[in-house]
Structure 1
Amino acid sequence: MSSRLARLALPWLLLLVVALVAAWLRYGLIESSAIGQQCGASNVPAWCDWRQALVLGFLHNAYGMAALVAAALALWRQRLWLAWLAAALGIFALELYCFEAGALALLLGSLRLLRLQARPTPVDEHRHGQQQVHSQP
């Protein structure tokens, strides 16, 4: 039973990791005034290109669009990994300034993930069938 619980909890724990990484990117890399000053200087470090790419991504709503595409795919195809991807991209988009699209993708991905996790496995269906009581022999 504990392996089933771990299998059900793992996607949610990984979503927490995605949220923490996105928060670190936002507050530690993008909004940091010290890093902004380093990237605005004449001798620019190489990692400032990555920071600039992150900023351009949310300015053009790329994260929100990617999250919505993943959410649509998760609704179309009943795959656990697509539902998780939609929720993860939704968290990432929500944290990086794409509020509306990120919130919708997070909601749809989380609901799809819950629905797919709640599906009975073939073993559960067989057990349920054995527990039914019939009034007539």
Structure 2
Amino acid sequence: MTARLSRTLAPWLLIVLAGLAAVWLRYGLIEPPAMAQICTAAQVPAWCTLRQALVSGFLHDVYGIAAILVAALALLRRAPALAWLAAALGAVALQLYNYEPGALALLIGCLRLVHLQGAGKATARLTPAP
């Protein structure tokens, strides 16, 4: 029973962790004015390249587009991993300024994941016990 519960809860907890990681990136690395000042100084630290890549990603809607593409794939295939990835990318896109596509991908990914998890339980109930 606990193994089944942990398999069911694990994807949801990982979606929350993906969202929390995006929150940390946004409020810890992207938004603080001190970080922007450090990255515009004469000698730029190596992590400023990551910060600039993250900023370029949300300026060009990369996170939202990736989340929508994965959500579309999740609708076409019966793969829980794709549903999870769509929801996780949607959560990241929501935090990194791609609200509309991120919200749609998060919704599609979550609904698809619930559907696939429910279908697995229905199949297990239909199978006779040994």
Aligned length: 128
| Identical-pair percentage | 56
Q: Does 1:9 align with 2:9?
A: yes
Q: CA RMSD in A?
A: 1.2
> 2:53, 2:120 → 1: CA distance?
43
| TM-score, normalised relative to structure 1 | 0.90
Q: Which runs of 5+ in 1 are unaligned?
A: 129-137
Aligned position for 1:134: none
- The alignment status of 1:59 with 2:59, answered yes or no, reads yes
Deviation at 1:126, TM superposition (A): 1.8
TM-score, reference length from structure 2: 0.94
In structure 2, distance between residues paired with 1:99 and 1:68 = 12
Which stretches in structure 2 are left out of the alignment for 5+ residues? none
Deviations 1:81-125 (A, max 9, x none): 000000000000010000000000000000000000001454421
Q: Is structure 2 residue 103 aligned with structure 1 residue 127?
A: no
Q: Which runs of 4+ in 1 moved over 4 A?
A: none
Q: For residue 82 of structure 2, what is the aligned residue in structure 1?
A: 82
The reply on whether 1:93 has 2:93 as its aligned counterpart is yes
AA paired with 1:50? Answer: L
Inter-partner Cα distance in structure 2 for 1:2 and 1:84: 21
Alpha-carbon separation, structure 2, partners of 1:86 and 1:120: 19
Q: Which residue of 2 aligns with 1:113?
A: 113
Instruction: Provide the C-alpha distance between the structure 2 equivalents of 1:127 and 1:99, rounded to a whole number of angstroms.
Output: 45
Distance 1:124 1:52 in 2: 50
Match for residue 30 of structure 2?
A: 30
Name the SS for the 1:127 alignment partner: coil
Question: How far apart are the structure 1 equivalents of 2:36 and 2:18?
Answer: 23
Distance 1:95 1:126 in 2: 42
